[in-house]
Structure 1
Amino acid sequence: MSRTIANSHQAELQVFERYGTKARYAIGYSDWPEMAAGLDPFIMMNEFEITKPGVTDHPHRGYDHATYMLSGADSNEDSKGYKNRVESGGLQWLTAGKGVVHCEVPGSDDDTKDHGLQLWINLKRADKMVEPAYQELLSKDIPKPSKDGVTVAVLAGESLGEKSQVYTRTPTMFLDFTLEPGAKYTQAVPKGWNGFVYVMSGNVHLGPEDKQTVGKPHDSLIMSDGDGLALENKGPEKVQFVLVAGEPINEPVCRGGPAGHFVMNTEEEVRAALEDWKSGKNGFENAPTWKSSVVAELQK
């Protein structure tokens, strides 16, 4: 059975002057939990542009955090000693697990637009307190199969016969599609998985011919259940969008802490995460004293 579009909304631009960040939330943020309620295991996804100072030192626990750079770069460091730049076309997949304090700031040395997507994927209870880990892919390491006017960057999962090398504790597909005018394709999505499409440019027709929905730039479109989703570009210009889908965890979700960066199962677990972060234990051992190089420079 082909999937259709069950719900949609326009992701409005929001400006966070404190962080030098602009973001459009495909799911999550101010409409949490309404928009994400039917999208287990996903917590949030946004399309962002980041300028100085960036999102300085902040804690994470209990979920995966994937950053995909569309242009420019994103510089990262954390309380475990990790440092990295995610370059244009690259992907960083952070499993926060039991906890890191993380800093992410603009990575370009010039006026290049630091522009990307960030997706948060929930972890099941058994994985929430694993050791933090990073997976990094340069643009050249991401499969980009192309056929009949359809090109897809396979960030996670599989499409057009190519698989990503990213390991997802929560089974996930994260696919960046470009469709030339007249191109069409049906992306297989396992039955029972939840998912959505977020459009970055152009107009894309989604669903079977008799029940198509047109997705326009900055539309977030929630899929019904089925075996796959038909994708078609009926317009004169190229279309770019991401298709995101994942296997539901079916566990309670409680989100709290600074900017909702603790994603646990209960309020008690969120309170425990706050205490661990403040007191420096259970994954946050050096959190009370650690400062990123960015914050240290700002405090000089």
Structure 2
Amino acid sequence: MSTTFTRQLERLVDGIPTQDGAGVSLTRVLTHDLQRRLDPFLMLDHFHSDEPSDYLAGFPDHPHRGFETVTYMLAGRMRHHDNAGNEGLLEPGGMQWMTAGRGLVHSELPEQENGLMSGFQLWVNLAGDDKMIAPNYSDIPSAGIPETEPQPGLKARVLAGEAFGVTGAIKRDKTEPLYLDLHVEAGVSFDLPIPASHNALLYVYEGKLGIGAAGSERVAAAGRMAILSNTREAAGVHLQAQEASRFLLIAGKPLNEPIAQWGPFVMNSREQVEQAIDDFRAGRF
């Protein structure tokens, strides 16, 4: 197996400020035009505000079909309800992994009136033959997310997949997602393993990170997403923290299937999307 960590920073992406739900202010980092490049990932949002008017309206009842939603909280409290009877409270450090499958209607509403609300929502595509599976919901508290310190000055929370010999809270066989929340002290450098078969991105949410071999590294600062090059047989990427930094690594095996999306429905064809719209309007979710 290759032991070279030769992935490079292919492209830096600035997030787009927007609103979603009933008026929640957030930054959309992974947008529609990057879905092919970052297959199997469809969207990544970062919400972060201590201004209640930015988040109090929340995300009232809305449908999904054909993919998975992953909500990871850094701060704040959010209540989940869905029409399959699931309910859960997202708290700091916790994660919700919801498989919409053939259709689910859910809400995510703040359970606080002030203070900081901060976290991420990631959309992970489902393979065509899994798009109509039964919905599923996993509510994973902070204590249920494995953590490791692979070297001094580096801590990793393994939300999904396997890293540094630690198996994460979630595993998926087809997309093989690797989802890490990493905290690194200033001046620390390290090799981050990433399967060579995977598309991969880093999202720096605090600090400043050097990406690539020492002397030729490029810098990603807070609020920017770094798309990593797909380098044959590379075992991962070399990183250096130019400041104390916190960032996400998100990587997955591409499905290489057609993507047809209309809002909260992600299928393989326009006809399937139109069927999803009809099913939702007819109350068949």
State the AA in 2 paired with 1:104.
E
Deviations 1:22-44 (Å, cap 9, x if unpaired)? 1111101xxx22x2221110100
Match of 2:194 in 1: 189
Q: How does 1:123-202 map to 2 (within 5 A)?
A: 123-146=126-149, 147-169=151-173, 170-202=175-207
Query: Alignment partner of 2:155: what SS?
Result: strand
**Which residue is equivalent to 2:40?**
41
TM-score by length of 2: 0.91
Residue 19 of structure 1, aligned match among 1, 18, 22: 22
Residue 101 of structure 2 corresponds to 97
Structure 2 runs not aligned, ≥5 long: 49-53
SS in 2 for 1:145: strand
Among 257, 262, 267, the alignment partner of 1:251 is 257
What root-mean-square deviation, in Å, do the aligned CA atoms of Structure 1 and Structure 2 show?
A: 1.4
Q: What letter is aligned with 1:218?
A: G
1:232 matched residue in structure 2: 240
Deviation of the 1:202 alpha carbon: 0.5
Count matched residues. 271
Counterpart residue number, 1:117: 120
Unaligned runs of 5+ in 1: 285-300
Question: Normalized per residue, which structure has more strand?
Answer: 2
1:168: how far off?
Answer: 2.1
Question: Partner of 1:270 in structure 2?
Answer: 273
Q: Provide the secondary structure at the position in 1 that maps to 2:7.
A: coil
Taking structure 1 as the reference length, what is the TM-score of the superposition?
0.87
The residue that corresponds to 2:78 in the other structure is 74
Residues 223-269 of structure 1: CA deviation (Å, up to 9, x unaligned): 1013201121133xx1011010000001000001xxx1100000000
Would you say the 8 A contact 1:67–1:117 is kept in 2? yes
> Match of 1:211, SS?
coil
Q: Deviations over 1:51-73 (max 9, x none)?
A: 22211111000001000001011
1:85 matched to 2:93: no
- SS of the residue corresponding to residue 278 of structure 2 reads helix
Give 2:51's aligned residue: none
Preserved contact between residue 88 and residue 139 of structure 2 (Cα < 8 Å): no
2: CA distance, partners of 1:166 / 1:192: 19
Q: How does 1:25-64 map to 2 (within 5 A)?
A: 25-28=28-31, 32-33=32-33, 35-49=34-48, 51-64=55-68
Distance 2:94 2:229 in 1: 30
Is this contact kept in 2: 1:135–1:166, CA < 8 A? no
CA shift, 1:211, in A, is: 3.0
Contact preservation (8 Å) 1:253, 1:266: yes
Q: Is 1:107–1:114's contact at 8 Å kept on the other side of the alignment?
A: no
